[in-house]
Structure 1
Amino acid sequence: MNEIFADIFADTHTPYPILFARLFGAVLFGAFIGIERERRQRPAGLRTHILVSLASAIFAVVAIESVHMKSLSGPEVRIDPIRVVEAVTAGVAFLAAGMIVFSKGEVKGLTTGAGMWLAGAVGLSVGFGFWLIAVFAAVTSLVVLFVLGRLEVALQWKAPEDFNATDGASRAGDDALQEQARTPK
């Protein structure tokens, strides 16, 4: 059990308060950009920008910290941790892009795609042993998705049905099925 706690609270090259300040800064600045986009009623708004900004910060922090990991710094180690980060970001971005749908002149699924990208960052963080970063990101993403989603509806930036849909991709698929049902044969 002590080994698990030692892994969760592992030493980092950069102190945790600075790491969390960087992640919080990414959330804050992503929100600033997202609010502007939301106010102009663009497809990628507040939540999407926060998730992408947070995920990007996590990928950067994990890349920097992984270079300084003792377990990856010996002469017998033949792994470039930054290549691992690159592979995960590219692979998850490909999957996330598949969630984005253009239907009836509207883009759907951007926040779902951004959430998938953030989930990749969370998984990468845990895989490298940065548990506290992963916890911060997961909790922050829940706040972003649920609390800010309700705030967007309250401020009338989004329609209630946009927030209540399970995700843009499945809703777009449902719309297509409903359209087929209405079309005479």
Structure 2
Amino acid sequence: MEWNFIWRLCAAGLCGTIIGLDREYRVKDAGFRTHFLVALGSALMMIVSQYGFEDLLATHDGLRFDPGRIAAQVVSGIGFIGAGTIILHRQLVRGLTTAASLWATAGIGLAAGAHMYVVAGAATLLTLFGLEALTLFFGGLGRKRTLLVYSSAHRAAVEAMFDKLKTSRYTVISYEVEARKIDGEVRYRATLVIRAKGAAEENEFVDLLRATPDITVERIV
């Protein structure tokens, strides 16, 4: 029986690692180690919920346990980890997909822990399909927002760059400019949230910024 449990844990960990490798390839904070542990821990909780109280059931007639309660707690508890991967800054939201993959990985771990290997394997493939294949087919519909911060000693240069970004192949969602004195020199810093239009490359604006010597790029998120 113990080897059966170990196999379930290994199956869950393998499925979690496969999904985590995709997130690692995409340079996300929650990589293969996090997904491995989430799947492994979920499988372990399911096994304990199903078989960890057999001695009590044998010695107490009429005593019943509901394994579904552990599964429900895992699903709700994984939200804390998922929330930790989500970053909200100004009008930017990052990490939602990774949080969703962690939530799905928890379900895969529960399925493996419940001896449902085919379901766990199918869910792993479908999760990867959602992470990769759907991006290839519909990636143009979900262009991400990018936070761009650049500065210049000349207010006119900052405004001119804004006009180039706005009139080219990007949508400017928000824009603000502030003046700061650094080492006795006034510099104008612009903070924009932009999104690529149509077939425009999401990082095409980098070449536009590099072509302007008066502009200093401070941050791109």
Larger Rg: 2
Query: Do these two structures clear the TM 0.5 threshold for a shared fold by scoring above it?
Result: no
Structure scoring higher RCO (CA < 8 A, sep ≥ 6) equals 1
Query: Which one has a larger percent strand, Structure 1 or Structure 2?
Result: 2
TM score, norm. by length of structure 1: 0.44
Query: Which one has a larger percent helix, Structure 1 or Structure 2?
Result: 1
